Structure 1
Amino acid sequence: MRNVMAAALTGLALLGLAGTASAQTGLAWPPKDVTPVHKTKAELEKQAAGFTARLQQTFPKVFRGAQNVEPGNWGGEAEGVFDDMQYMTNWTEFTVNGQNNTVFMQVNAPGFFSNSPTQVCEQNTCTGRESDHRGGVTVFTKNDLYGTATAWNFRRNGEVVYVQSWTPGTEAQLAAVASDRAYTFTR
């Protein structure tokens, strides 16, 4: 776990997001005073374009040597956004040293994702939990049946961002992406 934690902080530093990680990993859930966010389709499309640009900018740094970073369209169960959508998902494909990689991510608006970090661990196989650099908590889970690792970043404003990979040993990179505050509904 120390190696995962050290690698996660290294990943955050690569993004220019490094901060002080506190030893405390508790986070009251749901946070008090969560303000739901309601955006129009046009606002969400602009936000999705920003998310895509961020993926293309940061993935080669976070997943060292990533090439051919191909983010899919942001949306829900189907591609595309609609008025008042409370979450957006994306599939991103890229290669590292000739190996194909796929990352799935979901950005949830404040208050939309109701499970607490504890509930996520009760429903999944938790492999770790740590504070992020901004007062949130990142929970790590794995699913041996599907061969996935997931980093779930719970934020003080009620947002939850989770990032999943099918490539072993990518937990630190997943945590760096999930805790990146560029992926938010509150801008």
Structure 2
Amino acid sequence: MRMRKVMAAALTGLALIGLAGTASASASGSGDLVWPPKDVTPVHKTKAELEKQTAGFSARQQQTFPKVFRGAQDVSPGNWGGEAEGLFDDMQYVTNWTGFTVDGQSNTVFMQVNAPGFFQESPRQLCERDKCTGRASDHRGGVTVFTKNDQHGITIAWNFRRNGEVVWAQSWTPGTEAQLAAVASDRAYTFTR
């Protein structure tokens, strides 16, 4: 029952930013998603291309977070990078921290956008490693897997896409599964453009 409520909220969140389609919850698996997908095309970009693309990611966060995290104000995307600060030629993933407030309370979302083929674990392997709390098909043939780290109070939505990309968003704010799913499944966050 709780997963149905989470998925209903996720669909509402997706609709808020124009991403709604025919998503459905599945407690048992990821349907016909084969991982890793066949014929994944690796993406190699220059630092200049990554700078332009991540500027678009930050603009998307500023545009959509007030809708996804209802009432979010002062949306402040951090710098995009990897384990080392900044962007470099041929990075296969980028991350950032985005801070904002909702009703005067500080919130933070951490995101990672992985290039096709970089993230190798399947949804099943992820659930063997982490505590999975649910799954949902997205509107484009992918699957979103929800994990939780009870010790640190972290909730993560992992969006596995048919082109081999995995985008994930995490938060320390309870009850944000739907919002994290909307962010992670937003196809504006991609290496393939």
CA contact (8 A) 2:25 2:135 kept: no
Aligned to 1:13: 15
Query: Aligned partners of 2:127 and 2:24: how far apart in 1?
Result: 20
Query: Aligned partners of 2:38 and 2:160: how far apart in 1?
Result: 13
Aligned-pair CA distance for 1:172: 0.3
Query: Aligned partners of 2:177 and 2:39: how far apart in 1?
Result: 31
SS in 2 for 1:151: strand
Aligned to 2:89: 83
Q: For 1:97-145, what per-residue CA distance to the aligned partner results, in whole angstroms no more than 9, with x for missing partners?
A: 0110011000000000000000110111100011011100000000011
Q: For 1:21-56, what per-residue CA distance to the aligned partner results, in whole angstroms no more than 9, with x for missing partners?
A: 256732110000100000000000000100000000
Q: For 1:156-177, what per-residue CA distance to the aligned partner results, in whole angstroms no more than 9, with x for missing partners?
A: 0000001000000000000000
Q: Which moved more, 1:25-34 or 1:49-58?
A: 25-34
Query: Aligned partners of 1:69 and 1:23: how far apart in 2?
Result: 30
SS in 2 for 1:168: coil
Name stretches of at least 5 consecutive residues in structure 2 with no aligned partner.
Answer: none
Query: Aligned partners of 2:47 and 2:173: how far apart in 1?
Result: 33
Q: Which moved more, 1:17-26 or 1:72-81?
A: 17-26
Aligned to 2:35: 29
Query: Aligned partners of 1:36 and 1:78: how far apart in 2?
Result: 22
- Determine if the alignment matches structure 1 residue 54 to structure 2 residue 56: no
Name stretches of at least 5 consecutive residues in structure 1 with no aligned partner.
Answer: none
- Determine if the alignment matches structure 1 residue 115 to structure 2 residue 117: no
| 2:140 alignment partner AA | R
CA contact (8 A) 2:159 2:185 kept: yes
Aligned to 1:42: 48
CA contact (8 A) 2:7 2:24 kept: no
The within-5 A match list for 1:147-166 is 147-166=153-172
Aligned-pair CA distance for 1:77: 1.0
Query: Aligned partners of 1:165 and 1:99: how far apart in 2?
Result: 13
Query: Aligned partners of 2:66 and 2:84: how far apart in 1?
Result: 27
Aligned to 2:106: 100
SS in 1 for 2:10: helix
TM-score by length of 1: 0.98
TM-score by length of 2: 0.95
Identity of aligned residues (%): 84
Query: Aligned partners of 2:25 and 2:7: how far apart in 1?
Result: 11
